[in-house]
Amino acid sequence: MEGLRQDDPARIGEYVTLARLDPSAEAHLVPERRYLARTADGARTVLVSLPPRGADPARWAAEAQWAGRLTQPGFWPVTQLGGSAAFPWHASPYRPVLPLTAALAAHGGPLPERTVRLVGAALAEALASAHVLGVAHGGICPAAVLLTAYGPLLGCFGAARALAPDGTRRAGVPGLDAGCLAPEAAAGHPVSPAGDVHALGAVLAYLATGHTVPERDEIPPALRGPIAACLSRDPAGRPAPAQVLAELAPGAAYGTHTAGTEPLPLPGRVVAALSDQSVRVLTLELPAEVR
């Protein structure tokens, strides 16, 4: 979380912007512009998202509409859509949340293998529930995974489709993490469930090593198999999310990882960072002109 810059909007709909969720230095890897914002009366605080600069607002708004219809556990809820054709936005009630990039920064490096398995299992379970309905996320990357005290939630729905439509080469597009793009998606082929699995493998690699494209020897031995399978260049060779779930959490009952009813056992520094953000957001003050 960092302070606003001069070119950030002072207001988004009925909300007064207070801070950025993502640091400016990581803007090229984040598929949305995300802000902490509050109503002028101070009653409600939200996380509100805008399309990144240079993106087609119509395509981004179409993906936001789809995200608003997703009610599957494990997805960041889009509860309010607003704005105009030229300036669309969506918002959700604020809760303490760290993009995975911030979580690793707080921890001081890659997360413990147990945490990687728990976070990965929750993401695999969320993807399994979406893929059964024929819905591909199309935007999974470390910045799109929002870690809460109760587990990870998938945000930035449809980022690849929003930032570069099918048929357009996506490699090198700002806002898309190249390491998370499946080869076929980078070349411009339609986003698919198999592409989501590739991206899941890249996120698992990031959690375990700090890189979305690590050397094999960097990956903990027990995780090399499932990560390598997800990252197969052949879409047909990648496992289904349910298979990844079974590899990461052997014997666990399906439906338990995205329930979000029990706190996730996270490393102490990550828990402290979530608590610190909560305190900082509570103490953020509205500008004097709107108080």
Residues forming CATH 1.10.510.10 domain(s) in the chain: 98-269
| pLDDT at residue 238 in the model | 97
Which stretch of DSSP H or E encloses residue 12? Answer: strand 11-12
Give the pLDDT confidence of 1-55 residue by residue, as tens digits.
899 999 999 999 999 999 999 988 887 889 999 999 999 988 999 999 999 888 8
| pLDDT at residue 207 in the model | 97
Name every residue whose Cβ is closer than 8 Å to that of residue 281 and which is 6 or more positions away in sequence: 1, 18, 19, 36, 45, 94, 96
Q: Which CATH class is domain 11-95+272-284?
A: alpha beta
Separation in Å, CA 91 to CA 35, 108, 145, 240: 9, 30, 16, 31
Give the pLDDT confidence of 185-219 residue by residue, as tens digits.
999 999 999 999 999 999 999 999 999 999 989 99
Lowest mean pLDDT of 25-34, 128-137, 242-251, name the range: 25-34
Is the pLDDT at 231 greater than 80, yes or no? yes
Is the pLDDT at 288 greater than 70, yes or no? no
Give the pLDDT confidence of 62-114 residue by residue, as tens digits.
999 999 988 888 999 999 999 998 999 999 999 999 999 999 999 999 999 99
Pairing of strands 45-50, 88-93: antiparallel
Q: How far apart are CA 198 and CA 160, in angstroms?
A: 14
The percentage of residues in the chain with a pLDDT greater than 70, rounded to a whole number, is 98
To which CATH superfamily is domain 98-269 assigned? Transferase(Phosphotransferase) domain 1 (1.10.510.10)
pLDDT tier at 240 (50, 70, 90 boundaries)?
A: very high
Q: How far apart are CA 72 and CA 129, in angstroms?
A: 7
* Contact criterion met (CB below 8 Å) for 136 and 154: no
Is the pLDDT at 290 greater than 70, yes or no? no
| pLDDT at residue 57 in the model | 93
pLDDT tier at 242 (50, 70, 90 boundaries)?
A: very high
| pLDDT at residue 167 in the model | 87
Mean model confidence pLDDT for the chain: 92
DSSP track, 265-286: ---HHHHHHHHHHHHHHHH---
Residues forming CATH 3.30.200.20 domain(s) in the chain: 11-95+272-284
Is the pLDDT at 168 greater than 80, yes or no? yes
| pLDDT at residue 192 in the model | 95
Is the pLDDT at 291 greater than 60, yes or no? no
pLDDT tier at 257 (50, 70, 90 boundaries)?
A: confident
pLDDT tier at 289 (50, 70, 90 boundaries)?
A: low
Lowest mean pLDDT of 64-68, 132-136, 145-149, 165-169, name the range: 165-169
Nearest to 65 by CA among 52, 47, 38, 83: 83
Mean pLDDT of 152-159: 94
